[in-house]
Amino acid sequence: MKISDQVNLLMQGTEYGDEKLKQAMADELKDRLILAQSENRPLRVYCGFDPRTSDLHIGHTVPIRKMRQFQELGHEVIFVIGRFTSLIGDPSDKDVVRAQISAEEATLNAESYAQQSFKILDPDKTRVEYNDTWLSKLNFADVIRLARNFTIQQFLSRENFRKRFDQGEPIYLHETFYSLMQGYDALHLKTDVQIGGSDQLFNIMTAARKIMSANGEKPNIAIINGILPGTDGVVKMSKSLGNHIPLNSTPEDMYGKVMSVPDKAMGHYFRLITRWSPEEIEQIEGKLDSGDVSPRDIKMSLAHEVVAIYHGDQEAAAAEDEFRRIFQERKVPENMPKVEISGSIALFKLMVAEGLASSNSEARRLIQQRGVSLDGKVIDDIKAEVMIETPQVLKVGKRKFIQLVPKS
């Protein structure tokens, strides 16, 4: 691939909030690629991940997808598990201080995190490092040398810190250490490129590049990815908001959740989580703009691509068939869990017991909103009781089905 094409691919989906800054990073990337080619060496690329949870969703994979692009172009990829930085927690996108987790929790989560990343990365070509192996060895004098590169004003200029300062909310001193620690990761690894989300702009553009320059190293190039919106198409994908697509979703559930994403958000998904090239995306969006193809058909291609990445083409095809069966042909799934019912049971309690609702209050809300039906008949009475004499299908929302059968 020509270097100009490499730059186009690697800058795909990046957002810096400033077009001049984006162009500057693209120019630096091009120059570094030319230099590396002349020296017959790969670029050294890294991204850090704080294992504060073991339950990953599609939004977590955005930087991993970018790492895979570098990997496929023959560059060295370093997957850094932030067992030390996770003890603080990145304050970049938080309006309140993060709760601290233990080293034991971070280690346990890290094992799951790395393994899940190999659904995208080539494990044989991925170097995994743990930043506690070098950060834990810094002494107080080392921290002073790092800290003298920054001013308090720089930290207070960050939107989340400024907001807390103006509202009289506490900003703890240890929160400022996070940027220093991440910057030192880049210095220690002597990287050419650092990948992160747009909430990492300060940590990479200001902290890491400054620390590297101050220590005689060429500053790494910041590849700043856009933030993937959740299934609502508006706000950042988040488990706490319920707009996420878990990596451990079944193929059918993953396919259905992608299909629920609003049309306006599809471009973000094209650029941030698929294997599609800039040229392919340009062609797809051209067809959408001209009306040559319907958004629904494009979204089905997107859903197939996402499921295929994590479950394979065969499972993606089966999920697509199931989606067509349920939503286009208005039929029920061919395979669904069977639940035996003896006597009568409150509908809302049954929904919670079978995982169709997370709580009694959510179950009642779904019933009141007419999102629950039994054999095609909507039930909107929150006091409804279920008693089964013949097999019936309980449907909750658009994608959850179970077959109720009388207990023998």
Sequence ranges of the domains in the chain: 3-225, 251-328, 338-406
Instruction: Check residue 45 and give its pLDDT.
Output: 97
Instruction: Check residue 21 and give its pLDDT.
Output: 96
State which fold the 3-225 domain adopts: Rossmann fold (3.40.50)
Q: Residue 138 contacts by C-beta under 8 Å, 6 or more apart in sequence?
A: 184
Instruction: Check residue 56 and give its pLDDT.
Output: 83
Instruction: Check residue 96 and give its pLDDT.
Output: 46
Integer-rounded Cα radius of gyration of the chain: 24
Answering whether pTM is above 0.95, one says no
> CA 206 from chain center: how many Å?
24
For residues 82 and 50, the answer to whether their CB atoms sit within 8 Å is yes
Q: Out of 3.40.50.2000, 1.10.3720.10, 3.40.50.360, 1.10.240.10, which CATH number does the structure's domain 251-328 have?
A: 1.10.240.10
Q: How far from 169 is each of 99, 249, 263, CA to CA, in Å?
A: 15, 38, 38
For residues 202 and 174, the answer to whether their CB atoms sit within 8 Å is no
CA distance 257 to 301: 13
- Token pair 């994590």 is found at 310
Strands 400-406, 392-396: pairing kind: antiparallel
- The two tokens of residue 330 are 């208005």
Instruction: Check residue 390 and give its pLDDT.
Output: 73
Can you spell out the DSSP letters for 60-83?
GGHHHHHHHHHHHTT-EEEEEE-T
Q: What is the pLDDT along the chain (408 residues), one digit of tens a residue?
A: 899 999 999 999 999 999 999 999 999 999 999 999 999 999 999 999 887 777 789 999 999 999 999 999 999 999 998 888 887 765 654 444 455 667 777 777 777 777 888 999 999 999 999 999 999 999 999 999 999 999 999 888 887 888 888 888 888 888 889 899 999 999 999 999 999 998 889 999 989 999 999 999 999 999 999 999 999 999 999 887 888 998 888 999 899 899 989 999 999 999 999 999 999 999 999 999 988 888 889 999 999 999 999 999 999 999 999 888 876 666 667 677 888 888 888 999 989 988 888 889 889 999 999 889 887 788 888 898 888 777 788 888 877 888 888 876
Q: Out of 3.10.290.10, 2.40.50.140, 3.10.440.10, 3.40.640.10, which CATH number does the structure's domain 338-406 have?
A: 3.10.290.10
Q: Which amino acid is at 228?
A: L
CA distance 328 to 326: 6
Instruction: Check residue 171 and give its pLDDT.
Output: 86
